Chains A and B, each alone.
Chain A
Amino acid sequence: MPHRIEVGIKPGFRDARGESIRDQIAEDLAIKVEEIHVFDVYTIDAQLSRAELERIRTELFTDAVIEHSTIDAPLPNDFDFAIEVGFLPGVTDNIGKSATEGIQDTLGRPLTDRERAYKSTLYTVRGVSHETSDQIARNLLANGLIERWSILSETKFAATKGEGVLGVPTVQDVSDATVAEIDLEVADDTLIALSRDNTLALELDEMKAIQGYYRDTKTRVKREALGLPTCATDIELEILAQTWSEHCKHKIFAANIAYQDEHGNARAISGLFKTFVKATTDIVNERVNWLVSVFHDNAGLIRFDDDWLFALKAETHNSPSALDPYGGALTGIVGCNRDIMGAGLGCKCIFNTDVFCFAPPDYAAEIPERLMHPRRVLRGVHRGVKDGGNQSGIPDVNGAFVFHERFLGKPLVFCGTGGLIPKTVAGRPSHEKGARPGDRIVMCGGRIGKDGIHGATFSSEELHEGSPATAVQIGDPITQKKMADFLLEARDLGLFTSITDNGAGGLSSSIGEMAETPSGAEIHLDRAPLKYAGLAPWEIFLSEAQERMSLAVAPHQVGALMALANRREVEATDLGEFTDSGRLDCYYDGALIGSLDMEFLHDGVPTMELKTVWNPPEPTPDIEVIEDDWTTALQRVLGTYNVCSKENFVRMYDHEVLAQSVLKQFQGEENDGPGDAAVIRPVPGSNRGVAVACGIAPKYSDLDAYAMMACAIDEAVRNLTCVGGAIGTIAGLDNFCWPDPIQSDKTPDGEYKLAQLVRCCEALHETCVAYDIPLISGKDSMKNDYKIGDRKISIPPTVLFTAVAILDDVRLSVSMDAKRPGDAVYVLGETLCELGGSEFALVYDHKGGTAPTVDTTANRALYQRLNNAITNKLVASCHDCSDGGLAVALAETAFAGGLGMNVDVSSFNLTPAATLFSESQGRFVVTVSPDRQSAFEEAIGGSPYFHVGTVTESPRFEVSAPEGAVINADIFDLKLAWQAPLQW
């Protein structure tokens, strides 16, 4: 019989978790709970004696100083309802897993394979009804996709006598090991139904290509010889669907597009990736000498110094985060970490970045079916990334929160990671790898369960009624951390020849890709370690259960690798071998259950043929505002969700672990001013550094997708320039998130969205080439739509541009805060009337106007001059002028420094609104010590600069704008307006 241990805070001690949840319920659900207490419950499904139970209760589960606990008896009393939340069967239970280890340590004996502990949480509430308790459970405490809950009154709870009501979450849903055969000799509509019903996400012409493969005489002869049926087996079809998924194959970026621009000029684009992304890197590679490995590995690698290489990757995890914000985001960040752990021969992760796009947290309209309130999504996503990064010991150094109503349909969760690897490991260049025929296939890390099956194909579709709940999974950072430590040791001992991560598509993807080099693999799926019995062979191969990496290991090193894994308590399993057979062969219990031609698998997918015409939207008039209180206008712009401080959330990330931090997210007198780019110094003893920044501007998409892309790049480059990054040392990474751009019944405006995509790619290419930025890695996510019933929500086309610059000397970096009274204030760059999509337009609810354009020639010259001034120590502070415009950048500079500012921009030949709030690109606010002003002006001369005022001791922020407009405010009031909105 399972036993139950309940643990709570002793009366008289503060229940901080309870208080925090009570506050959250009040803020998010507007429900007032008189009192709420939290109890940890461990259900232990194991044969234990009473003495053993007592021992684990006292020594493992209870902190005698502040906690009390019971075994098989109810602990809490004096409440109205007890809400207990536990995981559904099969869902990753990290605490339960650690508790199981702790029990074995405490008892000094192993438990059997089936004996384990499960964690659930008990909340006792007072002052609410049963119905309200259920609402709290449903909307805040639990997610029905992964968790279940019960609600009992105090009497009923006492009557359970500590047996609990949730029971043990053992997996009942069992598939058998039989392999199904699927007849593809069927009508076209049956093929389409087959694809949709099985979440294959394949289009008709792709299904027909597969049909053609099986029809081919060569295939038939081969299959007969191998003893395989003429029909496809389930595992073969699943492997093809995964490998050919939009998520893995990027078919839209590979498509042939017949494009016609707004002037009627036709252009045949043979692949957006080849034409715009790869071409950028090829051109810039002629100008810089530090690219090492781009596009063909898990992450791009560039030279850091003579001894080290630097790796960068960013990924999205949008679809899973829509269904389970916490688990989706957690898997997003630890998954991106694995890309870095699998780059070259395996990098060490040295930082994370995170950028989230949500609907505004005060969204008041009805929430469509299967979606969650943006506030809940924000909290869950943030908590997932926080736990993933913090528990892995990887600092989160840079990011953004971006808000737009249409992110209600799908939140965007971008997770980035940087890594470092010695140039040479175990005597070999660390960026070269490759499995060889005869190498063993070794999987290490976590076990395989039904979690995450169909993740790759599910995220290649819009979110619909049938989107599978199994695609959701929860990461296990500690299992991954153990594996990460182990892999670095194994790498330095030269124990493997190739490494890649198991992400989307699981083993099917990792083995399929690794097998390309030797040209074949033979895998035995019955040898794979499972979390629980009852997975069909194809499920084992496709499962996206987390925390797993695949290695190619020379046969003579398998013993040493396994011994090391054993010492580090990391599970590693030999699943088969790489071959040169030209085929991917899958076995189960010794029988061949699937075999695919490698060439067909990787190259057989038909190239899409698309066409589109760019019809620009009708230009709309610029915003005209009658306003006489510009101080209030500034406070309102400072308080928009895009501009306001995110410090409360950012402080919950560990941004200093690894002790590399040079410029942190928040800077200035009170460490609360908004930094532009992060700077880290990753190699102790060296002053070289990495600056990390991001740019993202979906607010311009509806006006001009070209501007959206160019502005995102310009913002990232400006951020790097602020802290001392130089043109010529910057590398970029593009993450596209698009609504479905394929014309169809469900996407009648597909052609327009495709034209937007082409324009965006043109901007990416032209801007990066102008700034000498090679694209070293990237990703695209193309189906960011929601459609259930008549309700369709498509996200605004969005590209996150992540950029890094390698710095010669981090000690020359500059922060954004005003430093001393008397310093001169400069505005660099031209201000134009570009209020379209601005925060100011958002505040005044204006949709049209002109989006900013990026003058790359002028900007490049300015950035180089400013870099020269910074490296010559002529600049006291430098702040990027972006969201919110000049008034915001000036105010942030002032209040971050705890100083006032006296500024006169009345001679700007613009309206007050445009002067103060236009979001023209290529601008900075800089403060300069009076004794360096002439040298500074000489360094910048040739680019537009405006000496507009002075930093003052008195904490007043005073601005004279054109037409007699003025701002006159206390800096602390401005700071408060900026901090207030996300203070929860």
Chain B
Amino acid sequence: MSIDVLVLAGFGINCEAETAHAFSRVGGTPRIVHLNDLIAEPTILESVQILAVPGGFSFGDDVSSGRILANRLRYRLAEPLDRFVQAGNLAIGICNGFQVLVKMGLLPQLSGEMRQEVTLTHNDSGRFEDRWVHLVRDSKTPCVWLDGIDILELPIRHGEGKFLAPDGEHLTQLQEAGCLALRYADKNGAPAAGHYPENPNGSMDDIAGLCNPTGRIFGLMPHPEAFVDRTHHPQWTRQSLPEEGAGLAIFRNAVKHAGQR
């Protein structure tokens, strides 16, 4: 069975090509679709099993990162998107795409309603940074995208990736629902405990990625599509690494899961 993936493009999204490439490497059939073409023909969503909102600088990150694109999706595609999610399909938001999913209320969606519950804001450093980080999966998360992954390395490239929940109580609820899927860690996989640069942005509880309570909608600040080959890793000339980059497993999980349904 062909697993069709809609990779969103346009308005400053800029990782659509490599995101589509990652899906095609693991047997998915990606299709890059401009947002305006999707708005003109929302039924495209009914013909795909996975939706990807790639990284980039949608609308220049003006006003706040992801906000304007999030609003456009919410105002123009709320119903088709809701049907897509309710049907048990999968979605991923990477970096700016994660910010979009959070700000439109698709993640973490603890309330079941499409409204913003948490946020991603300016890094504590006050600057955009490109650096590689270590990540660990929360052992209790139902996130299907992270099946079988314990620890991995990926690059982050953002200026507004600091995760904040409104308060500690909310954070506990997210933890209990298994939404706190992915955390920044040190080299050995121990929690970054807020230390820079292991936790590169000051995220609460070292959070790097969130899923919804079903585990099928996933968003993360790091870029799994930027580590699909050994030579993407900054130390491939020093270490013995498998030919396949560790980020690819995330895409493979999704295609596999979509195929099992």
Contact = CB atoms under 8 A, between A and B. Distances in A.
Interface of A: 13-14, 16-17, 19-21, 40, 59-61, 63-66, 94-95, 97-99, 101-102, 105-106, 108, 386, 390-393, 477-478, 481-482, 485, 567-569, 651-659, 661-664, 666-669, 671, 681, 684, 810-811, 813-815, 817, 819, 897
B140 interface: no
Contacts of A481: 11-12, 14, 57
Interface centre among B55, B76, B130 (most CB of A within 10 A): B130
Interface in B226-261: 226, 228-229, 231-232, 234-235, 237-238
B238 A659 contact: no
A897 B228 CA distance: 25
Chain B contact patch, size range: 35 or more
A234 B202 CA distance: 58
B36 interface: yes
A659 B60 contact: no
B119 A651 contact: no
A836 to B, nearest CB: 35
Given A99-B63, A651-B130, A659 B21 contact: yes
Contact of B60 (A94, A666, A667): A94
Nearest to B197: A651
B126 A19 contact: yes
Given A656-B155, A656-B157, A102 B231 contact: no
A810 B231 contact: yes
Interface string B117-144: 1110111111111111000000000000
A652 B12 contact: no
Contacts of A101: 59, 68
A106 B71 contact: yes
Nearest to B129: A651
B183 interface: no
B116 A64 contact: yes
What are the 5 tightest A-B residue pairs by CB atom distance, in nearest-first order?
A: A393-B14, A20-B126, A98-B62, A659-B18, A65-B119
B9 interface: yes
A772 to B, nearest CB: 28
Interface in B141-169: 155, 157, 162, 164-166
5 contacts: A105-B72, A485-B9, A568-B10, A671-B131, A819-B238
Nearest to A814: B237
B123 A652 contact: no
Contacts of A684: 18, 21
A274 B34 CA distance: 46
Contacts of A106: 71, 75
Contacts of B127: 20, 652
Contact of B231 (A569, A653, A681): A681
B126 A390 contact: no
Interface centre among B61, B162, B228 (most CB of A within 10 A): B61
B82 interface: no
Given A95-B62, A101-B68, 15 more contacts: A16-B121, A60-B63, A60-B68, A60-B71, A61-B63, A63-B64, A65-B166, A393-B15, A568-B36, A656-B226, A656-B232, A659-B21, A668-B235, A671-B132, A817-B238
Given A20-B127, A60-B63, A390-B128, A815 B237 contact: yes
Contacts of A568: 10, 34, 36
Contacts of A657: 14-15, 55, 157, 226
Given A654-B130, A815-B237, A66 B75 contact: no
B121 A63 contact: yes
B37 interface: yes
Interface string B35-56: 0110010000000000000011
A101 B10 CA distance: 15
Given A393-B15, A664-B234, A814-B237, A482 B10 contact: yes
Contact of B57 (A66, A108, A391): A391
Contacts of B206: none
Contacts, number: 178
A392 B14 contact: yes
Contacts of B122: 16-17
A390 B124 CA distance: 19
B200 to A, nearest CB: 10
Contact of A14 (B130, B166, B202): B202
Nearest to B201: A16
Contacts of B56: 393
Nearest to A108: B75
A94 B62 contact: yes
Contact of B164 (A13, A59, A655): A13
Contacts of B57: 390-393, 477-478, 481
B238 A658 contact: no
Nearest to A898: B238
A876 to B, nearest CB: 9
B235 A105 contact: no
B108 to A, nearest CB: 12
B216 interface: no
A102 B68 contact: yes
Nearest to B68: A102
A198 B166 CA distance: 59
A14 B71 contact: no
Contacts of A98: 59-60, 62-63, 68
Contacts of A681: 229, 231
Nearest to B165: A65
Contacts of A813: 237
Contacts of A386: 128
Contacts of A40: 63
A14 B229 CA distance: 38
B130 A653 contact: yes
Contacts of B126: 16-17, 19-21
Contacts of A814: 237
Contact of A652 (B121, B128, B225): B128
B31 to A, nearest CB: 14
Contacts of B202: 14, 16
A440 to B, nearest CB: 24
Contacts of B123: 16
Nearest to B59: A98
Contacts of B118: 65
A66 B15 contact: no
Nearest to B22: A659
Contact of B71 (A21, A102, A392, A897): A102
Contacts of B67: 60, 63, 102
Contacts of A19: 126
Contacts of A671: 131-132, 234-235
A41 to B, nearest CB: 12
Nearest to A684: B21
Contacts of A99: 62-63
Contacts of B21: 659, 684
B223 A95 contact: no
Contacts of A569: 11, 36
A671 B156 CA distance: 14
A27 B21 CA distance: 44
Contacts of B190: none
A92 to B, nearest CB: 12
Nearest to B225: A659
Nearest to B227: A659
A53 to B, nearest CB: 15
Contacts of B62: 94-95, 97-99, 478
Interface in B1-24: 9-12, 14-15, 17-18, 21
A658 B12 contact: no
Interface string B98-114: 00000100000000000
Contacts of B36: 567-569
